[in-house]
């Protein structure tokens, strides 16, 4: 095991489990600092010690909900990536650094009240939504919640797909989820039920038709966006074309956006 222990640091947390979803994607859970309070959808800085003893940290969305006693993260394995090439080797019992200062705009507070909450993401951008989708407040605030996730292949969708499948039967929040949750996966480089980029499915109206939901309108629809810069830009302009405006913690509005961090 090549990962240097970080026990001497005050911000060390213990890895409790690791799940490798594909050759390039993995999730892991760590102990939660007692003092850490966060809102579902926020991110923190996590990392490992470099060989020179200095911390190497990156922003990671917390994928677990705010009520969970552990913290979950979902990560890509970037070939030769300074952090992820080492982070992907962590095992149960190892320690990572976690700075307990959560921030972020993909929070319910940054949106005005609405009827439907759309979560639009690519790749590991699903992580903050994995948090929000397990938070009872999400279902208390909205009549319908839509997770739209675009990946290249079906295998890359597995983390989000497993979550969406499990939620209606979840012993804690399954009843709240009920039939409010819609899952809309699309693949761009492998045939599937929904082929192509989510942005194109929104533009063509295919996603609305298939889900039986109306086109976005500023009175009812709230949109959260998390993916690459290109995805974020595309979806933001689709929001703006429908008269939706960007919100922030200090100024809630109709959509919010955040870059999926490690890429």
Which residues here bind ligand A2P, judged by CB under 6 A? 122-123, 150-152, 188-189, 197-199, 228, 230-231, 234
CA distance 250 to 256: 12
Cα 156–Cα 162–Cα 167 angle in degrees, nearest 5: 145
The neighbouring-strand residues paired with 195 are 187
Query: Please, which residue, 92 or 240, has the CB nearer to ligand A2P?
Result: 240
Closest approach of Cβ 173 to ligand A2P, in Å?
28
Closest approach of Cβ 24 to ligand A2P, in Å?
9
Closest approach of Cβ 260 to ligand A2P, in Å?
8
Query: Please, which residue, 163 or 235, has the CB nearer to ligand A2P?
Result: 235
Q: What element of type H or E holds 120? A: strand 116-122
Closest approach of Cβ 243 to ligand A2P, in Å?
21
Query: Please, which residue, 172 or 230, has the CB nearer to ligand A2P?
Result: 230
- Tokens 């480089």 locate to 189
CB hemisphere CA count around 200 (13 angstroms): 9
Query: Please, which residue, 15 or 225, has the CB nearer to ligand A2P?
Result: 225
Closest approach of Cβ 125 to ligand A2P, in Å?
8
Q: Read off φ and ψ for residue 67, nearest 5 degrees.
A: -85, -10
Query: Please, which residue, 117 or 121, has the CB nearer to ligand A2P?
Result: 121
Our measurement of the distance from residue 91's CA atom to the centroid of its chain's CA atoms, rounded to an integer in Å, reads 22
**What length is written for the chain?**
263
């Amino acid at each position: 095991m090549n990962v240097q222990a970080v026990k001497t640091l005050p911000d060390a947390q213990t890895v409790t489990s690791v799940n490798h979803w594909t050759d390039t994607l993995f999730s892991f859970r760590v102990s939660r600092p007692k003092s850490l309070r966060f809102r579902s959808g926020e991110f923190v800085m996590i990392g490992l010690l470099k060989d020179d003893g200095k911390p190497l940290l990156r922003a990671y969305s917390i994928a677990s909900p705010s009520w969970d006693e552990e913290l979950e993260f979902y990560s890509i394995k970037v070939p030769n990536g300074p952090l992820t090439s080492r982070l992907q080797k962590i095992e149960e019992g190892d320690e990572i650094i976690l700075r307990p200062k959560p921030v972020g705009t993909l929070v319910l507070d940054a949106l005005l009240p609405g009827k439907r909450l759309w979560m639009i993401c690519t790749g590991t951008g699903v992580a903050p939504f994995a948090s929000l989708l397990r938070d009872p407040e999400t279902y208390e605030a909205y009549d319908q919640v839509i997770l739209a996730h675009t990946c290249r292949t079906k295998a890359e969708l597995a983390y989000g797909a497993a979550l969406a499948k499990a939620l209606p039967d979840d012993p804690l929040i399954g009843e709240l989820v009920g039939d409010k949750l819609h899952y809309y996966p699309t693949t761009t480089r492998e045939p599937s039920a929904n082929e192509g980029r989510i942005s194109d499915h929104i533009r063509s109206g295919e996603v609305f038709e298939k889900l039986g939901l109306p086109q976005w309108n500023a009175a009812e629809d709230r949109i959260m966006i998390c993916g690459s810069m290109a995805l974020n830009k595309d979806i933001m302009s689709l929001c703006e074309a429908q008269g939706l405006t960007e919100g922030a913690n200090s100024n809630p509005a109709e959509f919010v956006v955040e870059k999926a961090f490690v890429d």
